[in-house]
Amino acid sequence: MAAISLKEAEKHLKIWLMAELEIATSQSYKIGTRSLTRADLKEVRNQIEYWQKKIAEIESVKSRGGRNRVMRAIPRDI
C-alpha cells in the first residue's frame, strides 16, 4: 500500500467527522415505503480514531525528519 500523505489523512478524517455528525442528527428516516439507515455509529467512531492516529503518526515522522532514530550505548565499568 502506498504511503498516505498528511493532506489525504486529514481529508479522510474530515469526511468521517461529517459522517458522525450526520448520524448524530438522524440515524434513520422513512419516506413513504422507502427507508434509509445510516452507517453504524461505532464503526464511524472507530474510523475517526484510526485517522486521528494516522495523522499523529505522519506528523511524528515529519518531526523526526522522516526516519527513526536509534541510539546505542555500551555500558563500561570504569
* DSSP per residue, 5-72: PHHHHHHHHHHHHHHHHHHHH-SEEEETTEEEE---HHHHHHHHHHHHHHHHHHHHHHHTTSS-----
Amino acid 15: pLDDT: 94
Amino acid 2: pLDDT: 64
The total number of residues written for the chain in this structure: 78
Reported as a single tens digit per residue, the pLDDT across 17-74 is 998 888 888 777 788 898 877 778 889 999 999 999 999 988 888 887 766 667 788 8
10: Cα separation from own chain's centroid: 8
Alpha carbon distance 15, 39 (integer Å): 13
Amino acid 46: pLDDT: 95
